[in-house]
Structure 1
Amino acid sequence: MVASPAYALIATDLDGTLLRGDDTVSERSLAALARAGRAGARHLVVTGRPAPGVRPLLTALGGTGLAVCGQGAQVYDAGSGRMLWSVRLDRELAETALGKIEAEVGPVFAAVDQDGTDGLTLIEPGYRMPRPTLPAVGVARREDLWREPISKVLLRHAALSDDELAAAARSVVGSLATVTMSGPGTVELQPCGVTKATGLALAAERLGVPAARALAFGDMPNDIPMFRWAAHGVAMANAHPELKAVADEVTTSNEDDGIAVVLERLFPAG
């Protein structure tokens, strides 16, 4: 079979998109990705999760190629276990940004993803991980979050919704960092100007695939830059309204094999 004339790259978010609520990928979705692969299309995971937290999932997916991690701040080679490209968030800028946010909305709870292929997720007292399956290490004090280079900061607020916290953070952070919202309970600060689209564009260039032949799937506002970069953006039925507003189409939910529904149409059996 020859590759689809339209799409040679399939970029998928993980949480709320390719993954079901129990952190698994359905047999139907795996079969649809395999069918697209036989037709010549490459699958590229593009996730907010840091590279260390993505490795087990890439293994389960049989992935040995590239993955875009950390909201676009990392391009990871699963085959060699090496980081091909990464951008750190300056720790002094991160502390300054946190101070501005807390001056605006009161105390927040913070966590960080450390940089590197073996970086840890550190959480200060009071911070709750949005997904219990994600590993994290508790620290005693906020200053302990900054002891090693980091790729991003994660924020939670006791009273504000994710949308409210993200909006407040954007209003005061300015050029100190990029503010994203990547899932329930997940507002993040990452290096200024870095988005999923920056990492995706770098990975696609390495694979020799232009944006005009890229198909993207997602569910949250942090996927908006990826949709704007790719030729066609598909939002899940469970997606945030902001992403649905810019999507080219909306498929069924992550629990109902939304990615497979689209891929089966674009890459029919034969």
Structure 2
Amino acid sequence: MYALIATDLDGTLLRGDDSLSGRTRSALADAMASGARHLVVTGRPAPRVRPLLRTLGSTGLAVCGQGAQLYDIGADRLLWSVTLDRDLAGTALEKIEAEVGQVYAAVDQDGVDGRTLIEPGYRMPHPHLPSVPVRGRDDLWREPISKVLLRHARLSDDELAAAARRVVGSLATVTMSGPGTVELQPYGVTKATGLDMAAQRLGLSPAQTIAFGDMPNDIPMFAWSAYGVAMANAHSELRAVADEVTLSNEEDGIAVVLERLFPG
């Protein structure tokens, strides 16, 4: 049976209003009572997720920032963090704009107190998450960052991500983690690298891991894990590589699977 349950947050564990249903909470509790560990693996940076993790009652580890951060929830500190070189990020943006025209950018700053900065024209995909407007793009690079978020006025997320991958090369890793969320992160860093680091600290292995997700940024996590479960609302690229497709996040899809694996 699986000893590690790795779950994405948005579109997966959480409902659209950021709540965790009673059924899913109960299913996770039963799994943990059976000896399994639950690990959140999210694209959100630590500062944008720590209030939520406390609400959920989490006290252990969390993988944040698409794998760029390993966060100790109870101690409120980063055990590991890798930043995106700001010169490389600027060069990557120039290459993308040469390919598709103007894009609008935001950055997540490094650290447990890092802020999300947005340049003029950028719209947050999750308006309830805090952000700080800046006057221009140069202001995005004043402090170390963990990733860059991109939006385009006309291109779809799939089109923007595909174009970015064509031109960015080894300057950064391009991911798509949700509606309106195409991102640049340190090259080679994925949810799988963060999950592997967390699992090693917990003394667990890929063969003991079941993963749940909904977007293409979860593909590396599925490849690392023994079993990958996509939500019914998942992107087609993730469903194509999943071992199973469950119900949507609004229909307690995670609970459906966990209740089968860990009957109370």
Query: Under a length normalisation based on structure 2, what TM-score does the superposition of the two structures give?
Result: 1.00
**What is the one-letter code of the residue matched to 2:177?**
S
Structure 2 counterparts to residues 9-48 of structure 1, below 5 A: 9-48=4-43
* Counterpart in the other structure of 2:233: 238
Q: Deviations over 1:3-33 (max 9, x none)?
A: xxx2000000000000101111101110100
How far the C-alpha of 1:219 sits from its partner, in A, is 0.1
Q: Of residues 99, 110, 114 in structure 1, which corresponds to 2:109?
A: 114
* Counterpart in the other structure of 1:268: 263
State the distance in 2 between where 1:40 and 1:54 align.
25
The secondary structure found in structure 2 opposite 1:53 is helix
Q: Does 1:193 align with 2:200?
A: no
Structure 2 counterparts to residues 64-213 of structure 1, below 5 A: 64-213=59-208
How far the C-alpha of 1:133 sits from its partner, in A, is 1.5
How far the C-alpha of 1:57 sits from its partner, in A, is 1.2
Gaps of 5+ in 2: none
**What is the one-letter code of the residue matched to 1:202?**
M
* Counterpart in the other structure of 1:222: 217
The number of aligned residues is 264
Query: Under a length normalisation based on structure 1, what TM-score does the superposition of the two structures give?
Result: 0.97
The secondary structure found in structure 2 opposite 1:20 is coil
Q: Which runs of 4 or more aligned residues in structure 1 lie more than 6 Å from their structure 2 counterparts after TM superposition?
A: none
Identity level (%): 79
How far the C-alpha of 1:194 sits from its partner, in A, is 0.2
How far the C-alpha of 1:264 sits from its partner, in A, is 0.3
Q: Deviations over 1:78-116 (max 9, x none)?
A: 011110001100000000000000000000000000000
Q: Of residues 215, 231, 242 in structure 2, which corresponds to 1:247?
A: 242
Gaps of 5+ in 1: 1-5
Q: Deviations over 1:116-174 (max 9, x none)?
A: 01000000011000011211100011100000000000000000000000000000000
* Counterpart in the other structure of 1:3: none
